[in-house]
Copies of this chain bind each other. A is one copy, B any other.
Amino acid sequence: MNDDARIAALEQQVAALTRQVGLLEDTFAVRHLQFKYGYYMDKCLYDPIIDLMADDCEIHFLGGVFRGKEGAGRLYCGRLRNRFAGGTDGPKPGLLMDHPQLQDIVDVAPDGLTARGRFRYLMQAGTHYTTGTAHQWWEGGLYENTYVKRDGAWQIQIIVPKMCYVGYYEHGWAYTKPDAINNLSKTFPEDPYGPDELADAPLVLWPQTDILPFHYPHPVTGEPVEMEK
């Protein structure tokens, strides 16, 4: 092979490696993004959470869909910040909101501009007896999220936190009433912290066992693994 051909071959290989390395860096960036979301949620840092969201974000939460920075603001900086943090960012003594994030499956699109991620969370939450009202619960769930890379930074575009079970500490998940969670029923502006629209289907908790669809095919057969009831 002459020099020209060898150089051309190298150019092709280096271009391929550059794409592959970029996708590996992106995979780490996306999982770190989601893990940072979890660490901010631990501490009721809702302004930083809004900054993780893309301008055209969608948050699917308790049977509602919140759209854009405004919708995200109503959910995180309105509804959640008022409920869990007394209206100001930052953790409040006596409130536990730990949001461990794990079991990440991140798939970055070949163009390096969008990604899908499946994650699990396993929450420890409650209020301490010294606040006057002891309350404590376990909560487990999944995410199937979409991410976008804009101006060089990965952001959360669609976030679907699928709560699967809630277990009050004293009784455990086996005794939680099927209707323990209230889905959102009013949209904004009727509910000032409400969603832009209601979801097609409400969130159902265990004992229901619907499958949150997998964004990826089976890793060996390449076939979709379909929802089954």
Q: Is the C-beta of A56 less than 8 angstroms from some C-beta in chain B?
A: no
A229 / chain B contacts, CB cutoff of 8 Å: 90
Task: With A98-B164, A134-B174 as known contacts, state yes or no: A25 contacts B20, CB within 8 Å.
Answer: yes
Q: Can you list, as one digit per residue, whether each of A141-180 has a CB less than 8 Å from chain B (1) or not (0)?
A: 0000000000001110000000011010110111110100
Task: With A93-B207, A219-B153 as known contacts, state yes or no: A124 contacts B165, CB within 8 Å.
Answer: yes
Copies in the complex: 3
Please tell me if the beta carbons of A14 and B11 are within 8 angstroms of each other in the complex. Answer: no
Cα A225 to Cα B36 in complex, Å, equals 11
- Stretch in contact with the other chain, from A26-34, A69-77, A186-194, A195-203: A26-34
Cα A140 to Cα B100 in complex, Å, equals 10
Please tell me if the beta carbons of B155 and A93 are within 8 angstroms of each other in the complex. Answer: no
Please tell me if the beta carbons of B131 and A207 are within 8 angstroms of each other in the complex. Answer: yes
A120 / chain B contacts, CB cutoff of 8 Å: 100
Task: With A24-B25, A39-B103, A48-B218 as known contacts, state yes or no: A95 contacts B209, CB within 8 Å.
Answer: yes
The 8 Å CB contact of A105, one of B36, B95, B153, is: B36
Cα A127 to Cα B138 in complex, Å, equals 16
